[in-house]
Every structure is written in structure tokens, then in C-alpha cells.
A and B are shown apart, each in its own frame.
Chain A
Amino acid sequence: MTDTAAVASARWRLKRPSIIPGFGLTLGFSLVYLSLIILIPIAGLFWRSAALGWSGFFAVLTDERTLRALYVSFGTAFVAALVNVVFGVITAWMLTRYDFPGRRLIDAMVDLPFALPTAVAGIALTALYAPQGWIGSLFMPFRIAFTPLGIVVALIFIGLPFVVRTVQPVMEEIDREVEEAAATLGANRFQTVSRVILPGLAPAILTGFALAFARGVGEYGSVIFIAGNIPYVSEIAPLLIVIKLEEFNYAGATAIATIMLLISFAMLFVINLIQAWSRRRYGNA
């Protein structure tokens, strides 16, 4: 019996021989884990939305309110992730490049959005940016809270640590010599930063962008307080799903969820391709 097993494994192998043991164990564990936590729930999602049939599915998809909600969700998440790229890179730069009293404190503060219950963030931001709030009143008659702009503000808050924490370690590893080389070649400080340092950080920035964007698309807790939730204007797709659920329209809710899932997956897949491409080009960036 051991003989046949040996023959079989000689003919076909799932993995190439390696001296590191435990491939079977880790693969098995990962698959079970992923199945229980991610794959089975997502499959269930597709299953439930399939109850609608194609026509029902398209009816939900082409509903004006659904389209507006998806547009608001992906649009605000995209804008917020873009803002976070700028904001996050500057923050990471400050934290890695300079040593000043309170640096560690600010470093720790960056992670706060990870830890804070998002509803708390939402309520705090709403209080500040509402027309009567401290910051919101400064901008009157231009309204921030209860518009898509308010959603962007909340998503910037939620997404910042993703960009900072992905860019920071890569920035710390930038070789001092590369900057010196640029200087000896006559590049001034601005040229060194814009042509040498930032392009070298591009893969990390892209990862941070993808994470912040993905997080923003799925964000619910903080957004519903500041958004005002006006249908067709500032209603996000996750909220629409909750509304459908409250109406016991489970199929409709899962249909919207399926669409969100597909769009998110497509976008993350494209971002991954870009990263793989840049990694091949620049080496292990």
C-alpha cells in the first residue's frame, strides 16, 4: 500500500518537494478556515440572490435608487481613498523622517480609527461638521454633514491608518544612499522626492489605496450618522441593504450585496494586477 502511494505521488504532486514540512497541514487549515468564514457565507449570498432569477436581479440592479446608492458608495470611497493617499503619505513622511517630541504619541494616534467603534467616530464627526457644529458652522452656507461630502470626511477618518501603515515601513527602508546619489547627480530636493522617492513608494501607496478604498466601500457605522441618508443623494449601498432587510426583502438585499461584491472584487483584482506588474519590474518592492 505504501508502494502504490509512493508511485502515485511520484506521478502527480500538488506541490514540489520541499524540506519545509507542514504544507498539507497549513493548506488544509487555511481552506477550512476560509470556507467557514468567507467562502460559505459568500456562496450563500449568491444562492439567496439567485432566488430572484435574472429578471428580478436586473430589476434590483437597474433600480434608480440602487444605482445612486452604489454610485455614492463607490464614489465617496474612491475620493476618500485618494485624499488619504496624499494625507497618509505626508503623515508617514513626517513620522519616518523627523524626530520630534510627541512623535510616538502621534504614531499611536494614527491607529485610533482602527480601535474606535465606528459609530462613535460617526457621531463625533457629525457633531463637528453639522451646520451648527464647530467646524461645520465655519463653512456655512456650504454644508458638509448630511451630504456626500460628509461621507467622504467619515471615510477619510476610517481609511487613514491603512495608507500610513502600509507606506511607513517601506519609507523607513528607503536607502539613504539613493537620495544621496540623486543629489550628486544634481537633483534638488523636490526632484529627489518627486522623481526618486515617491515612484519607489508607488507599490506601497497602491496597496494602501486599495485597502482604504475597500474599507470605505464596506463602511457603515460612521457613515450613517453623518450622511443624512437622503435617498438618491447621500444614501450608501450598505444602508440600502439594511433597509431591504428591514422590509424582509432578503433577495433584494442579497442582490445589492452581490453586485457590491462583484464590483469590489473586480477593482481589487485590477489593483492586484498592477501591483504584481510593478513588483516584477522593480524587484521586491
Chain B
Amino acid sequence: MEVTINNIRKEFDRFPALNDVSLKIASGELIALLGPSGSGKTTLLRLIAGLDFPTAGKIFFGEEDASHHSVQERNVGFVFQHYALFRHMTVAENIGFGLKVRPASTRPAKAEIRRRVLELLDMVQLGGLEKRYPNQLSGGQRQRVALARAMAIEPRILLLDEPFGALDAKVRKELRRWLREFHDRTGHTTVFVTHDQEEALELADRVVVMSQGRIEQVGSADDVYDRPGSPFVFSFIGESSQLPVEVKEGAVLFQGQPIGISEPAGGVGELFFRPEDVALVDAPDALFGKVTACRRLAGTRIAEIDIANDGHAPYHVEIEVPLHAPIELGSEARFRPTRWKVFRK
């Protein structure tokens, strides 16, 4: 099911939680809404589900305007961070709930419901646990029951709100891989919310980066990591350093001194680069400063450097250096970014 979100605005007590958000979700896509807390990602998910209604704007399911449809009418599968299982029901009763509450005309027969429940249990790899109660299951198992329960109603779209947020790191990784396989097998249009960028980048076809109620960038993992569209995306995704610079006649100046890299357009801006995208150089026009800390990180070394020209306040940056490089505590390091981006003010 293709979902189109047109100029959505949502206010809670006059405080805008979402501000003019538009997004097109293709059928069968796996999309991540990524952002810090308070960025509006969960609000957007709840608006798609129909658990909240927009202040302005429209939501289309395919060609159909679903903006004012109730959550029951929308037929969406929703998985909550804390599972929200019905604890007085067995696993089988939980999964069958959505079928049992259908009006008599569309409700499958008892035997058919049972067959579907067992089939879904197998699909989430929990066969044989149908008689357990939720409190007899581990967190990862509960979340898979919640997913099976959401899938039972054959939803038009599957929505997951921080689905792995309450699980420990190991289970989270397993379940993440498993969800990707599950999606590839079933082909459901899926939107999930996360604040964990690793999760979003690994799992999603496209990542929607959100901040302060707005969409900052939409793109593949490569897009948002290698070609960040805004200062926020650059600093939010991955590690990065940030320096105030000025561009004059094609050269980038830091604290008035050229640093050996060039930019086409002029003006004042912010230079962003990643720790791994630097090269140590032996030239006067470079960034330089004293190494304040040095630590080993797997196959490389991270050097923390306070860079400053004489008489200016120092800026703290982190760069990755080869193991054999002559960098040690207290020494001076000179380097240039090899890949960078300047966002003009």
C-alpha cells in the first residue's frame, strides 16, 4: 500500500509537534523515521496509524483520503515499544484477537482463526508457545508475538514504534536482522521509528531524518551518511567535527588562515568532516593543533586535537590516524580533510 503524506501539521496545546511534513512511501518499502526524542517521529507514525489526527494536512492510503478515517477503519498493524500485549490472554488468544473482534459477516470460522494463528506463530518462530501467557515470555519473544498479532489482521501497512527499544543489545541485533528477512519475505509496506541510527541505516530502504517537527532529509543509508543535506544530518548521523570557516576566492579559511582545501562559492559557514576523512600532511596550509588524547580503536587510532591559531580560542576535534603515524600525546598534528562539506550561513 502506497502512503502519501501531504503538508501535515500537528499541534499539541498550540505547540507544534509536526510542521508541514510531506512524505511519499512506496508500496513494499521499509522506511525508518530517525531522529532525536522530540523530533516528531512517533507523532508522525501515530498520525499514519490514526491514533492521532492532524491539525492540518492530509494522509492518503493509495488513492483514498484516510485523513479522517478512524484507526479501526484504516486497518494498520501497529507494534508498540513496550509490546502492549493483553496479559490475560494466551499467546494464541493475543494473535487471534484482531480476527475474533471482527463483525460476524467478515469473521473467519474458529478453526480458520486457529489455523491462521498457528501459521503466524511459525512465521515468527514461536511455534509451540501458543498456550503461554505474555509474562512467561522473554522481551524478544513478546515483541515477536506483538508483530504476529499485528500481522494477523492482514494490515495494509505495518507501523512499528521503537520496536527494539526495550530489548538488550544482543537480542536487538538478532531481531533487527530477523525483521529485515521477515519484511523481504512478506513484502509489507513498513514504517518504523527509531532513535538508533545504526538500526535505521542497517535496516531501512530509505531513512527519513527528522528534527524539531520537520523532515531534514530523506534518502538511502548511503545518501544520508555520505551526502548529508543539512548541518543537522551531518552531525546527527555518524561522527563528525564542525569548525566555523570563511570561504574567500575559492579557499577555505579557518581563523583567517588557509587550510589547503577549496570551495566554489564564498561566504561565512560551517565546515563539517568525519574523523575517517582526513589525511595527515606536512604543509603550512592545514589544520593543526596539540594532541590532547590518543586512544586505540580496533584497527586505527583516534586522536583528540585542540586546533587553534595563535590568539584564537581552541576547537576540539577528533580524527582517525593510522597506527604507525607519528602522533603521540602532546605532539603537534597537521591534517587536512579529504572529504568535507561547508554549509553556508
Binding site for B on A (CB under 8 A): 175, 177-178, 180-188, 191, 195-196, 199-200, 202, 281-285
Contacts and interface: CB of A to CB of B under 8 A. Distances in A.
B72 A188 contact: yes
Contacts of B98: 185-187
Contacts of A196: 86
A137 B78 CA distance: 56
B78 A283 contact: no
Given A185-B98, A188-B72, A281 B88 contact: yes
Contacts, number: 75
A181 B80 contact: yes
A100 B24 CA distance: 42
Given A184-B78, A200-B88, A283-B135, A195 B101 contact: yes
Interface residues of B, number: 28
Closest 7 CB pairs of A and B: A283-B135, A185-B98, A177-B84, A184-B78, A181-B84, A187-B101, A199-B88
A80 to B, nearest CB: 27
B82 interface: yes
B88 A183 contact: no
Interface in B199-250: none
A185 B98 CA distance: 5
Contact of B51 (A184, A188, A195): A184
A32 B151 CA distance: 58
A273 to B, nearest CB: 18
Contacts of B333: none
Contacts of B146: 181
Contact of A282 (B49, B77, B82, B87): B87
Nearest to B49: A184
B339 to A, nearest CB: 43
Interface in B231-286: none
A184 B101 contact: no
A178 B133 contact: no
A127 to B, nearest CB: 44
Given A177-B80, A180-B71, A202-B88, 17 more contacts: A177-B82, A180-B78, A180-B84, A181-B84, A181-B85, A181-B86, A184-B71, A184-B150, A185-B101, A185-B150, A185-B152, A186-B75, A187-B72, A188-B101, A199-B89, A200-B87, A282-B135
A17 B107 CA distance: 56
Contacts of A182: 86, 97, 101
Contacts of A199: 88-89
A191 B102 CA distance: 10
B101 A186 contact: yes
A283 B51 CA distance: 28
B76 interface: yes
B149 to A, nearest CB: 7
B80 A180 contact: yes
Interface of B: 49, 51, 71-72, 75-78, 80, 82, 84-89, 97-98, 101-102, 133-135, 146, 149-150, 152-153
Nearest to B86: A196
Contact of B97 (A175, A185, A284): A185
A191 B87 contact: no
Nearest to B134: A283
Nearest to A188: B72
B84 A175 contact: yes
Contacts of B75: 186
A191 B101 contact: yes
A186 B51 contact: no
Which of A184, A186, A283, A284 gathers the greatest number of chain B CB atoms within 10 Å? A184
Nearest to A192: B101
A280 to B, nearest CB: 9
B133 A183 contact: no
Contacts of B72: 183, 186-188
25 contacts: A175-B82, A177-B84, A180-B78, A180-B80, A181-B78, A181-B80, A181-B149, A182-B86, A182-B101, A184-B51, A184-B150, A185-B101, A185-B149, A186-B98, A186-B102, A187-B97, A187-B98, A187-B101, A199-B88, A200-B88, A282-B87, A283-B133, A283-B134, A284-B135, A285-B87
A184 B153 CA distance: 9
Contacts of A175: 82, 84
Nearest to A198: B88
Nearest to B106: A186
Contacts of A183: 51, 71-72
Contacts of B133: 281-283
B86 A178 contact: yes
Nearest to B80: A177
A195 B94 CA distance: 11
Contacts of B150: 184-185
Nearest to A181: B84
Contacts of B80: 177, 180-181
Nearest to A175: B84
A202 B86 CA distance: 13
B160 to A, nearest CB: 12
B165 to A, nearest CB: 13
A96 B156 CA distance: 35
Contacts of B51: 180, 183-184
A195 B82 CA distance: 20
Contacts of A178: 84-86
